[in-house]
Structure 1
């Protein structure tokens, strides 16, 4: 069997699919992973076949308009102007992504497709070629439930009708938006794609699709009212054995007494130099040592870093979080998963999207400090949070306990079994 995995987004969206692809390949099946072209070397170093998708949509995150649109401190008119410009650019670039998805599926003609929600076009195009498709999501965002509200809505105490309504509302809006995107693309490219009744959870050829939720039941329990084809598999982790730190980093870690990690991945900043200086001040005030991952522009790298800070562009979280006492990050699903696996408490500074949801969830289960909104982040509040979390043994004990629970799960093996055998989940 040839299985095509399709994912899109940042590294946090790619790594779980690498783990899944590797697990499928170990069972003897042919596997191809389609992802943004910038991740080719990352995918191929795990011995996987790679199919490139356009980087253009991801590149929007480096535009000034993206920083303006996502920064809570941006003025109202400037924010609206930035959003309008991004939507216009994104509409055209989404067509390029759909082109790549279509051409990849057409060229490979796999027996099954597993797709990330950001590669939503894979479902309609799979229907066009009569190929079964499976949705794999890293957050519980697309299946309505009475158990909790959609992640974009506030909690209302035990109001099941409200919870279900929020989920149905978001699912309806998502389907409408994606249906329109497919219609526009199909019209311009003269493709005959079944988009008229597009539903992200339903194939027009095969009916309800399997949905794999790649996180742990220990973090978010599977709701009893989910459909039988919706599974919580456990996290999909990549083996970090390939990473070798530099001699300088190894020495810095060895000689640090209170080592923390700071990194915001691809999150934008209107003033990266100011952000870097703020972090320097916070680390000094908290009297700790820090490894700072400058990422892709949010934190300036051309800085005269003091001796209590070691700066790198990026470092695998799965490896790094085993060596620090706390991790300060943006709250992306993949970063949270790595911290949970390592038993590393978090201080989360959410920017947008699902990040506030994860920040609140990790705080609720006792493995994170109360979130710091990105608009409120300064050296004083960050230093205070660092001191608080280092002085709270219960947070560290809870993080270790949950890490032990997660270590007993095998999310990849569970997902592989569902992909290959299609077993339904007991409600």
Structure 2
């Protein structure tokens, strides 16, 4: 059996598929991952021993360009930008995935909606089995949560019926992505689909997040199979400079915003807030390329490092609320201060606060004062005790559970 795992996104989208690909291979399945061919992702997949089939373009520069183009645009202009980019992604990713799917029996798609649409089209054209996967419950239709609000398509004020809002979400996705998907279908000689959301989602959906952090409440609007987060075991040692820094004093506070291009002031605010507590800082440079504010010996800037080895040795983790960082900190028992920016990050921030294992920062632009107040709660003994207790409830077998599930579901004929 051969399975293509597809995504177009940042590290938080690629690393889980490396874990799933490795788990599938351990069961004798030939798995490959189609993902952006950025050097960091190529190295990540090589470490996992999973072949890389490049997506239509590297993602880092593409993401920066999209952010810059949308920053000063009106909601209507951003909606047009999304629709225009969707057409490009569907067309180009269809070609990339057509090549990547050669010889495969099934495709499992994660990441951007247009990329998943391209995967669905390839599966349809090749009579391959198909399944959608997602890393957060909020993306799935449910009476228990509201749909995501897109630029130019605001949710109507005062409407609290989530079922009605999810019906409206069908129209929203048709408006944003329908032309791109049906345009590509027309070029392939296929009839249009009237509901692009449900066409791309399929049923059931693979929900790859931890049930303690992101519980799925059963929904009659879609069937989701929750497996736990996909975690790639990481045995890499920490860099010598980081080991020396950790050993030279009390546990520091980790600061990192991953693939989010936050302003440099966010890093400065974090360092100032941490210093005010008499603590040291490990500053992850990330895509924002953050750096120390001076040559003080209480702050060490690092590149990409083994979070599994590091987070158990820090006093707290300040981050953006990406699904991967949230589960890594929770698994390590590290209290969290989450400064959510986009997408599902507000959800993970809220869940950390609800569980009492972290603090949600109010707004995306932190100051030294706001982070100092948040750290006061995160560093409290009660928060650390709850974080330590929750760590034991975080599942570590999500990729293995998903691999067995996919073999069972996608190995069935007639799907």
Whether TM-score is above 0.5 comes out as yes
Distance 1:234-1:160 versus aligned 2 partners, 3 A rule: farther
Give the alignment of 1:277-296 within 5 angstroms: 277-296=268-287
Instruction: Kindly state the Cα deviation for residue 161 of structure 1 after the two structures are TM-superposed.
Output: 6.9
CA distance in 1, matches of 2:210, 2:217: 13
| 8 Å CA contact 1:202, 1:209 repeated in 2 | no
Give the alignment of 1:10-159 within 5 angstroms: 10-38=10-38, 39-56=41-58, 58-63=60-65, 66-67=67-68, 69=70, 83=78, 86-87=81-82, 90-91=85-86, 93-94=88-89, 95-105=91-101, 108-118=102-112, 119-120=115-116, 121-150=118-147
Distance 1:311-1:328 versus aligned 2 partners, 3 A rule: same
How many residue pairs match? The answer is 399
Distance 1:46-1:322 versus aligned 2 partners, 3 A rule: same
**What is the CA deviation profile of residues 357-397 of structure 1, one whole-angstrom value per residue up to 9, with x for unaligned ones?**
2111211121111323113x11121123223321x222222
Instruction: Kindly state the Cα deviation for residue 354 of structure 1 after the two structures are TM-superposed.
Output: 1.4
Match of 1:416 in 2: 403
CA distance in 1, matches of 2:292, 2:175: 44
Secondary structure of 1:237's counterpart equals coil
Secondary structure of 2:260's counterpart equals coil
CA distance in 1, matches of 2:191, 2:387: 46
CA distance in 1, matches of 2:408, 2:232: 23
Asked if 1:405 corresponds to 2:396, the answer is no
| 8 Å CA contact 2:320, 2:339 repeated in 1 | yes
Secondary structure of 1:3's counterpart equals strand
CA distance in 2, matches of 1:338, 1:230: 23
CA distance in 2, matches of 1:161, 1:62: 35
Match of 1:178 in 2: 177
**What is the CA deviation profile of residues 315-337 of structure 1, one whole-angstrom value per residue up to 9, with x for unaligned ones?**
23333212212110011111112
Moved more, 221-230 or 135-144: 221-230
| 8 Å CA contact 2:135, 2:323 repeated in 1 | yes
Match of 1:341 in 2: 331
Match of 2:413 in 1: none
| 8 Å CA contact 2:139, 2:148 repeated in 1 | no
Match of 2:261 in 1: 268
| 8 Å CA contact 2:131, 2:202 repeated in 1 | no
TM-score, normalization: structure 1? 0.84
Residue of structure 2 aligned with 1:378, choices 358, 362, 367: 367
Instruction: Kindly state the Cα deviation for residue 31 of structure 1 after the two structures are TM-superposed.
Output: 0.8
Distance 1:215-1:177 versus aligned 2 partners, 3 A rule: same
Secondary structure of 1:245's counterpart equals coil
Secondary structure of 1:374's counterpart equals coil
TM-score, normalization: structure 2? 0.86
| 8 Å CA contact 1:142, 1:170 repeated in 2 | no
Instruction: Kindly state the Cα deviation for residue 266 of structure 1 after the two structures are TM-superposed.
Output: 1.8
**Is there any run of 5+ residues in structure 2 with no aligned partner, and where?**
411-415
**What is the CA deviation profile of residues 13-59 of structure 1, one whole-angstrom value per residue up to 9, with x for unaligned ones?**
11111111110000011111111001112101211111011335542
CA distance in 1, matches of 2:79, 2:218: 40
| 8 Å CA contact 1:124, 1:195 repeated in 2 | no
CA distance in 1, matches of 2:127, 2:231: 31
| 8 Å CA contact 1:292, 1:310 repeated in 2 | yes
Instruction: Kindly state the Cα deviation for residue 152 of structure 1 after the two structures are TM-superposed.
Output: 5.0
CA distance in 1, matches of 2:21, 2:179: 31
Distance 1:227-1:148 versus aligned 2 partners, 3 A rule: closer
Residue of structure 2 aligned with 1:245, choices 229, 234, 238: 238
Match of 1:255 in 2: 248
CA distance in 1, matches of 2:84, 2:279: 43
Moved more, 222-231 or 127-136: 222-231
Match of 1:216 in 2: 210
Distance 1:6-1:213 versus aligned 2 partners, 3 A rule: same
Distance 1:109-1:93 versus aligned 2 partners, 3 A rule: same
Instruction: Kindly state the Cα deviation for residue 4 of structure 1 after the two structures are TM-superposed.
Output: 0.7
Moved more, 380-389 or 127-136: 380-389
Distance 1:261-1:342 versus aligned 2 partners, 3 A rule: same
CA distance in 1, matches of 2:347, 2:222: 25
